[in-house]
Amino acid sequence: MDASTEAENLDQKIMDQMELIRKEIEESVPLLSHKEDIASLAKEYPPDDAIYQGKIRSLYSSYRWIRRTRRDGNCFYRAFGISLMEMLKQNPDEYHRVYKVIEESKDRLIELGYQAFIIEDFHQTVLTLLKNVRKDDCTNDELVEWFNDRDLSNYFVVYFRLLTSAHLKTNAEFFENFIDGYQSVKDFCSYEVEPIGKESDHIHAIALTGFLNTAIEIVYLNHTDDDLSKHRFPEHSAPQFTLLYRPGHYDVLYK
C-alpha cells in the first residue's frame, strides 16, 4: 500500500483544532475591553502569590484603569492602536504629525518592495480611522467599537505590522544584531513580524515607536524581578501612553 495514502492531513487537523480554540476565545473575550478598574488584575492571581500581588498593589499608585485585549497574538498592535488614537484625539499637533507619517508611509512601503495593490486597503483603513478620530463627535466608545470590528481591526493590525517591518528593514544594519536565529532582518520580518497572530517583543516595540516617532512606556509584570520594571521606548522619552506587559501579552494602562 502506498505510504502516502496512510498519511493523514495532520496540518489540517491542527489548523482545525486551533480554529476551534480561537473561536472559543473569540466568544468569551472582546478584541478590546472597556476600561476596567485596575483592581480587577489582582483577582487573576492567587492571593498568596506575594510577588504578583505586591507588584499589582504598586501599580495602583500610578494607574487606575486597565483596558484588556484578546490574547490572539495581535494584542500589542491593538493595545498600541487604541492608545495611539486616544492620545491623538487629545493632541492636535501630534495628530497632524502622525497623520502625515501614516499618509506618506504607503510610498515608503512601496519603496521597500511591497506591492501597492496589496497594501492599499490596509493603508486606506488606517487613514479612515484617523479621519474619524479628528471628528468632534468621535467618542472613546466609538474607537473601542471600531477596534472590536474584526475586519477593520485586523486591517489595522496588518498595516501596523508592515510599519514595524518597514522600520526594521530601513534600519537593518542596526537591527541585525538583535535577530537571533535569523539570517537577515528580511527573514525576521517575514517570520516574526508580518504573519498575522505572531506575538510581539521588545524589538517590535522599538521598531513601531521608531517608525511613528512616538514615545511609549511598557510596564512589565512578571515573576522575575523584585519590583515592577518599566521600559521607555525610546529610552529617556516622555511617554505618550502606557502598556502593561505580562509574559506573552499586552494590555493598556491608564492613570
**DSSP secondary structure letter of residue 232:** E
Residue 185's identity, in one-letter code, is V
**3 makes contact with other proteins (CB under 8 A):** yes
Shortest CB 6 distance to other proteins, Å: 8
For residue 49, which phi and psi values (nearest 5 degrees)?
-80, 90
- Residues of this chain, 138-157, that bind other proteins according to CB under 8 A: 151, 154-155
**191 makes contact with other proteins (CB under 8 A):** yes
Q: Cβ contacts of residue 182 below 8 Å, gap of 6+? A: 188, 191, 192
* Residue 236 annotated among the catalytic residues of the structure: no
**195 makes contact with other proteins (CB under 8 A):** yes
**Residue closer to other proteins, measured from CB, 122 or 147:** 122
Active-site hit among 49, 138, 231, 249 = 249
Q: Which of 29, 51, 112, 119 binds other proteins (CB under 8 A)?
A: 119
Burial letters 218-252, b for 16+ CB under 10 A, else e: bbbbeeeeeebeeeebeeeeebbbbbbbeeebbbb
* Residue 72 annotated among the catalytic residues of the structure: yes
d(CA 121, CA 113): 17
Shortest CB 154 distance to other proteins, Å: 5
Given a contact cutoff of 8 angstroms between Cβ atoms, the answer to whether 38 and 219 are in contact is no
Active-site hit among 11, 16, 75, 189 = 75
d(CA 68, CA 155): 20
* Residue 201 annotated among the catalytic residues of the structure: no
Active-site hit among 49, 72, 201, 231 = 72
Annotated catalytic residues are 72, 75, 249
| Contacting residues toward other proteins, per CB under 8 A | 2-12, 15, 114-115, 117-119, 121-122, 151, 154-155, 158, 161-162, 190-191, 194-197
